[in-house]
Amino acid sequence: MLRLINGRLGLYSVMAKDSIIASHGVVSKLGLSCLLIALFLFSSVSYGGFVPKDSRVPGGVAVIALPQKGDAPPHVFFQKKRVFTARLSGQWYAWVGLPLSLKTGDYSAYWRTKEGDKPLSFSVKNKEYQKQYLTVKNKHVNLSAEQLTRVRRETPEIRGAMDTFKPVIYELPEQVVQPTKGRISSSFGLRRVFNGQSRNPHSGMDIAAATGTPVLSALNGKIAAIGDYYFNGKTVIVDHGQGLTTLYCHLSKTEALKVGDKVDAGTKLGEVGATGRVTGPHLHWTVTLNGARVDPALFLSVE
């Protein structure tokens, strides 16, 4: 008979009789065999969608092939955090998010097996990111006591939604949806200097677009947070399962969504705006893997 394997129709077993009863009549063994072969060939083409570009630098993604067989998702850990795994053409892969703060050198992720944790070794190379100098209103650089209290209240909610790991698997599309149309005005990893004061590297990609331009979910998932925050302005965070999340902020408006709502790749989340700490209308898009902010360009078919 047939059953769903990893969300696709695949071969499970064949009844050893001269014929079987199908929902629309009797199917001969020969006809059934041809059907099963076709289904097997189709189902073996791919068990998932896209794979991000392998980039073993701070802020990159180490895509590591795993020797695990079978349908059960592997358990892989990096720096004590479980990482995203996906199956493509019968091969399991771990997508290891590499924090921007990571030093160059040799590292290991660990594949958990019945025989114990097995190391998956890889090397991280250096990458020099550019600097950007911005001038903004002093109130956005030197916070008042009231503003600082608000930021401290909002930060756990934002990070909690971005850095979570839920063992939920959503179907991967053939390619990630670019969340809005526009020009990439600021790339990932830029060291930003506000009014002469150095800040943390840019943790996402900025796409410049006119206010009101639709903003779409890059992947299938579930709304993890939605709100209006001091730095980010109007924001939506989507959880795509297994520690992969995306954040969309500085929106002029958000759709009538709430935490827990399911969204598909391409679902409208809101519209481009200039809320929060910004110098003009644009979308700030952040991708997180196993708690690490990684370069969104690695997930797009065209950089």
Please give the average per-residue pLDDT across 182-206, as a whole number: 86
Selection from 176, 156, 154 nearest residue 240 by Cα = 176
Average pLDDT taken over every residue of the chain: 84
CA distance 223 to 233: 17
0.85 surpassed by pTM: no
Predicted confidence (pLDDT) at residue 28 exceeds the cutoff of 50:
no
131-299 to CATH, choices 2.70.70.10, 3.40.50.150, 2.10.109.10, 1.10.390.10 = 2.70.70.10
Burial classification of residue 208, based on how many CB atoms lie within 10 Å of its CB (0-12 exposed, 13-18 middle, 19 or more buried): middle
**CATH hierarchy code of domain 61-124:** 2.60.40.1590
By the 8 A CB rule, do 295 and 189 touch?
Answer: yes
Task: Tell me where in the chain the CATH 2.70.70.10 domain(s) lie.
Answer: 131-299
- For position 140, what pLDDT does the model report? 62
Predicted confidence (pLDDT) at residue 245 exceeds the cutoff of 80:
yes
Task: Tell me where in the chain the CATH 2.60.40.1590 domain(s) lie.
Answer: 61-124
What is the three-class DSSP state of 40?
Answer: helix
- For position 139, what pLDDT does the model report? 63
